Structure 1
Amino acid sequence: MRRLLLAGLIALAVLPVAAQNPPRTQTLDLETIMANPDWMGHPVENPYWSVDGRSLYYQLKRDGSSVRDLYHVDPATGDNTRLDAAATARAEGPAVYDHAHRQAAYLFHGDVFLVDLTTGRHAQITRSPQPEAALRFSPDGRSLQFRQGNQWYIYDIASGVTAPAALLKSTDDPQDKQPDALGRQQLELFKVLREDKADKDALHANEQELAAADPTRAPQPFYLGDKQQVVDTELSPDNRWMLVVMQPAHHDDGKAPPVIHYVTDTGYTESEDARTYVGRNDPAPQSVVLLDLSAHTSYALSTDDLPGIKDDPLKAIRAKTVAALEKAGKDDEAKALKAPDIRPVTLYTMDSGTAGIVWTDDGRNAAIEFLSADNKDRWIATVDFAHHALVSQHRLHNDAWINWGFNDFGWLKDNHTLWYLSEESGYSQLYVKPVNGVAKALTTGKFEVSQPQLSDDGKWFYVRTNKVAPYSYDAYRVPATGGELTRITQYGGLEQFVLSPDDKQLAVLHSAAYVLPQLAVLDAQGGTPRELTHTMKAAFTAHAWIEPKIVQVPSSHGAGVIYAKYYGPANETDASSSRPAVLFVHGAGYLQDVTTSATYYQHEQLFNNLLVQEGYVVLDMDYRASAGYGSAWRTAIYRQMGHPELEDLLDGKAWLVKNHGVDPHRVGIYGGSYGGFMTEMALLRAPGEFAAGAAQRPPADWVTYNDQYTADILNDPQLDPEAYTISSPITYAQNLRDPLLINHGLIDNNVMASDSIRLYQRFIELHKKNFWLSLYPMERHEFEHADSWYDEYRRINELFETWVKPGTSQQ
């Protein structure tokens, strides 16, 4: 058997935490906490099991570089090894197995490898410049499928021959081209032309006959027409069928705004195109074609009969806007807003980046997940191969928008029962449904279920849930036939898990407030885990970091409670003193920061520690729209971004005043991206409530953001202009009275710097005071350079020291 050789490997010592930690220190400074995050340590990334299931691989970022090194760990001994280049060349990738578990295959450096599990022999199948993907064995184990882009290949294991599964051409079939009137006249006039045509037709017919009778030949092409382009393809495991996702070939993607680079390695100013603004052009509608590879025939799969597809969920809004346009004499604009008779659809995009199509293991059933273009509906449909039609299995409707997550789906091992996640109860739960049967919930409750993974034997689902509390995540399992949801891990900070090939062990990544994701392994039925890594740096763990307290802030607007993280002094005895406070607002809108896991906002968490050291208390809230609390919490901002969230932030401020002795006139606010947007909304919609605010990379006008995110929440700006008006900070620019600092990366291609520059110009024209704009020439949306991080937070710190701490706000 090919074995992982130890020669040339570099050992990584895994020491107990106490042995690595010098005495804990307390004093912080801005230079240290805004340094390159390498000083903190690195998260363990992308764990997977070896082919034999006896060991694990994972990746770790290299200090001072974006390079990820590959590591190997033995779960039995805990021995970790960093693989050098020679050892990496002998490593394996995540494996797939045939039904009998006699063979395995894996991808490594983009190529395909095959393993005979009875002999241990490894064979390289491809060595190509283009990466392969989507490895899968045929049901009988005789062939192996993989793809390059949209081209599928079948490797016959016995013969060693690799052949394309199908040849797709985005042109019309030349044989279908009929002569026009002039051509017909030519054929009538000239015998030689008639003979040439007859000969070509005979050659083509002969080629078709030979190809049909000879499996050793390459397949004949499918001509898909020049009006459509191929977006994705999915081959059935039995090599019989292919589903092809199409969209218009010449769809207008709209004008893309440029991003200007002023500091370049050439010395010349350069530009690049960013994404199109929302409403400038809708995403291209998609369709699916079924190819019968055996009979060499094709069939369009119509979505016209999906339930509710002919409804107009925006009917009331559409009527109001159309009436206003017609009243204003804008008849052409009104006509453009006419509802389609049948709503266009796109296919859900899987985590792999491919279309939402899943085949059963035997290749006899396929399920497709569609989204309406307005994102109010999600359908899961199966394919009726006998009648070349779609059969709806499940429809999920939301008056606001379908969640971007919780759309996982697949098949049980019986090859005729679907499983899927759905928010239909108000929370993401796991369901199963036989193709010809009734859906059944495997999980129920006011918690979120994600990351469903079916065991290889098909008996269990393993999932990640926050059943214990919204902020606490662990791995659970539930029988695939229904039964009790059982807790497997006890971390409260579970990030992800990977089931071993024999279903006996679970490799897990877990984290905590100041511990980046670490790898452990435990029995798949639960038990005491074995910790396998400790990648935090001694200089970081030496600090006595403030453990954030998870608190419940009562809502004054009927929202129940708002979960938040509170940062305050360790010995907080006098809550009656008048303190300054800061609200940190997380980004993304739909993101959860109030958890017992590691935060995405490492720099901000350390800055919150510094603020406490300087005499502030800090509150970090999961305002409405945050993840982890169900669909009603998420969609509360529909058509009114910045309004429910501001109510929650003001409730947070009131809670600090009541419970922690905070001076209501000495509260600052800061955040990035969506948090920057909320900072601007807080100052502009509630002037006088905050002493000062710092907004990083904030969207100031939603009409200039992208389509996928914004149109889901606010609809198209042409259709629903009111939603954009009330949701954009620039609308309220005249209300500025409190100091506002805006920091923005100049080459941000997500939220363009023009958002902040346009708002800045509005302040100039309105003769406002105490507003500042700092632009960072080398930064995109996510800042990457320590100097920029330091400068950004130096300015924020000085803003708070000037306007919040001494109580000099303009009240």
Structure 2
Amino acid sequence: MKKHLLFILLCSSQYTFAQLGPLTVEKIMRDPKWMGVSPSNYHWTADSKTLYFNWNPDKKAKDELFKVGTSSTKIIKAIDKEDEKNPTQNYLYNSNKTLGLFERNGDIFLQDFKGNKERRLTNTQERETGAIFLTDGSIAYQKEDNIYSLNLKTAETKQLSNFVKGKKPGKADVKTGTVQDNWLKAEQTALFDIIKKRNAEGKNNTNRTGRVRASVATDTKSLKEIYTEDKFLSNVIISPNGRFITYKLTTAAQNNHNTIVPNYVTASGYTEDIPGRTKVGENESTSQNFIFDIQQDTVYTIQTSTITGIKDLPDYLKDYPKEKEALQKKNEDRNVNLFGPIWNENGTKGIMIAISTDNKDRWILQLDALSGKFNLVDRQRDEAWIGGPGVGGYYAGNVGWVDNDHFYYQSEATGYSHLYVADVAKGEKKQLTSGKWEVQTLKLSKDKKTFYLTGNKEHPGITNLFKIASNGGELIQITTMKGLNEITLSPDEKWIAINYSYLNKPWELYIQPNTPKAKAVKITTSTSSEFNSYAWRQPDMISFKNRYGAEVYARVYKSENPHPNHPAVVFVHGAGYLQNIHFGWSQYFREYMFNNLLADNGYTVIDIDYTASSGYGRDHRTGIYRHMGGKDLTDQVDGVKVLVEKYGVNPKHVGIYGGSYGGFMTLMAMFNAPEVFESGAALRSVTDWAHYNHGYTSNILNEPFNDPIAYKQSSPIYFADKLKGNLLMAHGMVDVNVHFQDIVRITQRFIELGKSNWELAVFPVEDHGFVEPSSWTDEYKRIFKLYENTLKK
């Protein structure tokens, strides 16, 4: 009887331990492993029979490697040696797909698919990269700064370029002998007949150590020395026909001020400085691209002056007529960043992608390698800034050759990022996908007959895999699960690994045959029993028209037992250009759980994909151009109106919170809409955009010195005097993204303004993204206390 009772008590205690509810900040802000660890880092073996992935079902200190076969759903813990027998390789194929090149640990290997043999081509201490097949059957690769070719039949290795660091020696740089050297040399010649004889035969080419310099064989041509001076060499690319080597020389920015982030809690006991980034508007590095014609032994410049519209000025200059007039008189070419060239298989055509440094233009250009001039294939101009999935301003984008004449790319020309193919020979373009949705990822099949793409065609917050013929036709849907589907295609393209999640279900692995609407089989179950014990909400997925007539999407977390005050909280996601209103598991999983906690405690919570969020096309993306805290803020206000009208929220008891861009938005809301928001928690907030980085900020606001209007109407520090409600600010002191200086500066403004309804919580060991559970807990306990003390009073 006693044993039976003890068993019941033990079971009862284990069951109680497994129960999560009621939610508390301390519970949800623990090390996330308590929830369970989702699988990640999927990679197929070369034979497409096995999928490897990282996983941690036992909540160990580190994730471990697991595998599953396509013929079974049984998960097996992988052994490293087994993994090495059949590694995943990204092959670069020859024209008939019989051979493949790949890199392993800095060396080049050749795979013979017919003979199923692997051949090692290099074995050096240096790293060989960028191996390609040349049209003559040999291969080329880069080692250190230079390009080499390897004849697969004769095994002869040949150096094709000779980049030399530093300046080309002039006459003043040539070392001449001293008077003593010259006297000794003359004496030797006068005394010895053998010296006279060898001088006549050219065999006395000696240095001061007495070592005879090797003479150059008459049938060997010395390589042209290309001096890089004080510039940085990059983007060294050889054409497949082996004739042209293109490269970029970059001059580092001068007279810039790098920021410093002090680190106070250190092992040494001393304050240590962390070198930081520059601020927006600082000088940028400049680059120039060149062509080395091996056949002509000549170097010449790629001529960006031949780009269509290279002198066009941005529209915003209409607000600065004097500056615009001065620039028009200068009539200078704009600076551009060039990517490529991307050569077709036979090396007859090369495409370069050009992005203007003022962020307004993206060109797809055919390079005439003989002259260094360009012919226009496509130009996309945006008076806000170039961007969108597959387009981007910091890389070439999703581009490549379908065949020797057809080049594919993505463009937002219609307002949404879609797939295009250009017939470069004929100068014609064809749009393959269309509609009010985005192509988000893109992959061309091995036989180049099919594009595989993911897109949000069904709903802005649902992604699926599709395929379409590379020459156009019907768009065919392959996956069907409602949520987010991230795809890893097997090398033979017969299977897909799906990283899938839903609103209240974290990421899990599924495997599906690569056939339309086939069944996806679930492989992993990762969430803990404690996590599963709570009924996580599926928030209402709604949309509403904002005051400008645009459709805005949101999640609403309803409270089953609203507090008598009927309070509400607005959560603002970070990054600006990011999507959080989707049918998948949010990357803001802590905030998702906190929103559930708020709803349990009588609050209604709304989370909005405000203007500038991703997933909704160009106009939504660029709607904050030159005015952050404009339409993105009024979307929050319009969202509160929806809560009042449809969810019974009391408009006098509304709070707001968010981190990074969400922290910035919270400050703008508290300053510029004080009649709407009673309390706000601004976390790791940008307070003055003139102090943020260049790449992100210059896209949206241009630069402080050329568009001060944009910065002054977008920066919270200029509106600090309007604070009326209750404000909590929280910031990590070693934040290398949004510096602690940002929050210190606005704190000083509050002090000078005599404001008292604010507080600042500092976190000495935290960077931009908090890591320590104790920091997360402290921060969110403060937020919850703020709302409890102000919105429920």
Query: Shorter-chain TM-score: which interval?
Result: 0.7 to 0.9
Name the SS of the counterpart of 1:695 in structure 2: strand
- After superposition, the C-alpha distances for 1:718-769 in whole angstroms (9 at most, x for unaligned) are 0111110010000000011111111111111110011011101100111101
- Answer yes or no: is the 8 Å Cα contact 1:92–1:106 preserved in 2: no
Tell me if 1:98 matches 2:93. yes
Q: Call closer, same or farther: CA 1:149–1:636 in 2, change over 3 Å.
A: farther
> Which of 394, 416, 420 pairs up with 1:431?
420
Name the SS of the counterpart of 2:377 in structure 1: strand
- After superposition, the C-alpha distances for 1:34-79 in whole angstroms (9 at most, x for unaligned) are 0111222334333232112222223346977885543332122123
Greater shift after overlay, 235-244 or 732-741? 235-244
> Matches of residues 552-631 of structure 1 in structure 2 within 5 Å?
552-555=543-546, 557-569=547-559, 578-631=565-618
> Which of 46, 52, 55 pairs up with 2:41?
46
> Matches of residues 127-166 of structure 1 in structure 2 within 5 Å?
133-138=129-134, 142-143=138-139, 145-147=140-142, 151-152=146-147, 154=149, 156-158=151-153, 165-166=160-161
Tell me if 1:211 matches 2:220. yes
> Which of 488, 505, 509 pairs up with 1:515?
505
Greater shift after overlay, 116-125 or 682-691? 116-125
Tell me if 1:58 matches 2:47. no
Q: Call closer, same or farther: CA 1:83–1:268 in 2, change over 3 Å.
A: farther
> Which of 409, 423, 446 pairs up with 1:456?
446
> Which of 398, 403, 410 pairs up with 1:421?
410
Partner of 1:275: 277
Partner of 2:368: 384
- After superposition, the C-alpha distances for 1:389-415 in whole angstroms (9 at most, x for unaligned) are 222211110001111642224333322
> Which of 727, 735, 740 pairs up with 1:748?
735
Tell me if 1:466 matches 2:453. no
Q: Call closer, same or farther: CA 1:80–1:32 in 2, change over 3 Å.
A: same
How many residues of Structure 1 are paired with residues of Structure 2 in the alignment? Answer: 749
> Which of 233, 241, 251 pairs up with 2:253?
251
Name the SS of the counterpart of 1:579 in structure 2: coil
- After superposition, the C-alpha distances for 1:681-712 in whole angstroms (9 at most, x for unaligned) are 00011113112100110000000001111111
TM (norm. structure 2) is: 0.87
> Which of 221, 226, 241 pairs up with 1:223?
226
Partner of 1:235: 238
C-alpha distance in structure 2 between counterparts of 1:537 and 1:159, whole Å:
60
Partner of 1:82: 77
- Answer yes or no: is the 8 Å Cα contact 1:211–1:220 preserved in 2: no
Name the SS of the counterpart of 1:498 in structure 2: strand
1:231 Cα offset (Å): 3.2
Point out where structure 2 has 5 or more consecutive residues left out of the alignment.
Answer: 1-14, 187-195, 207-212, 392-396
- Answer yes or no: is the 8 Å Cα contact 2:249–2:287 preserved in 1: yes
- Answer yes or no: is the 8 Å Cα contact 2:317–2:323 preserved in 1: no
1:106 Cα offset (Å): 4.0
- Answer yes or no: is the 8 Å Cα contact 1:254–1:276 preserved in 2: yes
C-alpha distance in structure 2 between counterparts of 1:180 and 1:164, whole Å:
27
C-alpha distance in structure 2 between counterparts of 1:443 and 1:21, whole Å:
53
- Larger Cα Rg: Structure 1 or Structure 2? 2
- After superposition, the C-alpha distances for 1:774-805 in whole angstroms (9 at most, x for unaligned) are 1111111111111111111111111111111x
State the AA in 2 paired with 1:319: Y
- Answer yes or no: is the 8 Å Cα contact 1:406–1:423 preserved in 2: no
C-alpha distance in structure 1 between counterparts of 2:564 and 2:321, whole Å:
53
Partner of 2:314: 313
1:108 Cα offset (Å): 4.7
State the AA in 1 paired with 2:273: S
- After superposition, the C-alpha distances for 1:343-367 in whole angstroms (9 at most, x for unaligned) are 01113xxxxxxx4542223333221
Tell me if 1:548 matches 2:539. yes
Name the SS of the counterpart of 1:744 in structure 2: strand
> Matches of residues 170-185 of structure 1 in structure 2 within 5 Å?
170-174=165-169, 177=170
> Which of 351, 362, 367 pairs up with 1:367?
351
> Matches of residues 393-412 of structure 1 in structure 2 within 5 Å?
393-403=377-387, 405-407=389-391, 408-412=397-401
Q: Call closer, same or farther: CA 1:171–1:797 in 2, change over 3 Å.
A: same
1:132 Cα offset (Å): 5.4
Greater shift after overlay, 202-211 or 443-452? 202-211
1:169 Cα offset (Å): 2.0
Partner of 1:440: 430
Name the SS of the counterpart of 1:796 in structure 2: helix
Greater shift after overlay, 527-536 or 590-599? 527-536
Q: Call closer, same or farther: CA 1:464–1:336 in 2, change over 3 Å.
A: same
- Answer yes or no: is the 8 Å Cα contact 1:737–1:769 preserved in 2: no
State the AA in 2 paired with 1:579: H
> Matches of residues 18-29 of structure 1 in structure 2 within 5 Å?
26-29=21-24
Greater shift after overlay, 20-29 or 630-639? 20-29
- After superposition, the C-alpha distances for 1:227-283 in whole angstroms (9 at most, x for unaligned) are 5321322233454432212222x43161011001111122221002111011122x2
Greater shift after overlay, 97-106 or 523-532? 97-106
Q: Call closer, same or farther: CA 1:280–1:486 in 2, change over 3 Å.
A: same
Name the SS of the counterpart of 2:653 in structure 1: strand
Partner of 1:490: 480
C-alpha distance in structure 2 between counterparts of 1:165 and 1:420, whole Å:
31
State the AA in 2 paired with 1:748: D
State the AA in 1 paired with 2:162: L
Q: Call closer, same or farther: CA 1:614–1:164 in 2, change over 3 Å.
A: farther
Greater shift after overlay, 264-273 or 752-761? 264-273
Tell me if 1:116 matches 2:119. no
- Answer yes or no: is the 8 Å Cα contact 2:147–2:161 preserved in 1: yes
State the AA in 1 paired with 2:301: A
> Matches of residues 698-717 of structure 1 in structure 2 within 5 Å?
698-717=685-704
Q: Call closer, same or farther: CA 1:142–1:46 in 2, change over 3 Å.
A: farther
Partner of 2:8: none
State the AA in 2 paired with 1:211: T
C-alpha distance in structure 2 between counterparts of 1:589 and 1:199, whole Å:
71
State the AA in 1 paired with 2:309: G
C-alpha distance in structure 1 between counterparts of 2:378 and 2:398, whole Å:
11
Point out where structure 1 has 5 or more consecutive residues left out of the alignment.
Answer: 1-19, 213-218, 324-333, 348-354
Partner of 1:261: 263
1:568 Cα offset (Å): 1.3
C-alpha distance in structure 2 between counterparts of 1:615 and 1:315, whole Å:
47
Percent identity, aligned pairs only, is: 33
Name the SS of the counterpart of 1:663 in structure 2: coil
Greater shift after overlay, 132-141 or 417-426? 132-141
Tell me if 1:656 matches 2:657. no
C-alpha distance in structure 1 between counterparts of 2:32 and 2:533, whole Å:
15
Partner of 1:757: 744
Partner of 1:11: none
Partner of 2:12: none
- Answer yes or no: is the 8 Å Cα contact 2:355–2:361 preserved in 1: yes
Partner of 1:691: 678
- Answer yes or no: is the 8 Å Cα contact 1:516–1:536 preserved in 2: yes
- Answer yes or no: is the 8 Å Cα contact 1:278–1:717 preserved in 2: yes
Partner of 1:331: none
1:317 Cα offset (Å): 4.2
Partner of 2:287: 286
C-alpha distance in structure 2 between counterparts of 1:267 and 1:182, whole Å:
53
State the AA in 2 paired with 1:530: V
- Answer yes or no: is the 8 Å Cα contact 1:21–1:538 preserved in 2: no
TM (norm. structure 1) is: 0.85
- Answer yes or no: is the 8 Å Cα contact 2:138–2:149 preserved in 1: no
Q: Call closer, same or farther: CA 1:658–1:106 in 2, change over 3 Å.
A: same
Cα RMSD, aligned residues only:
3.5
Name the SS of the counterpart of 2:310 in structure 1: coil
Greater shift after overlay, 587-596 or 286-295? 286-295
Partner of 1:721: 708
Name the SS of the counterpart of 1:226 in structure 2: coil
Name the SS of the counterpart of 1:726 in structure 2: helix
C-alpha distance in structure 1 between counterparts of 2:500 and 2:160, whole Å:
41
Partner of 1:17: none
State the AA in 2 paired with 1:70: L
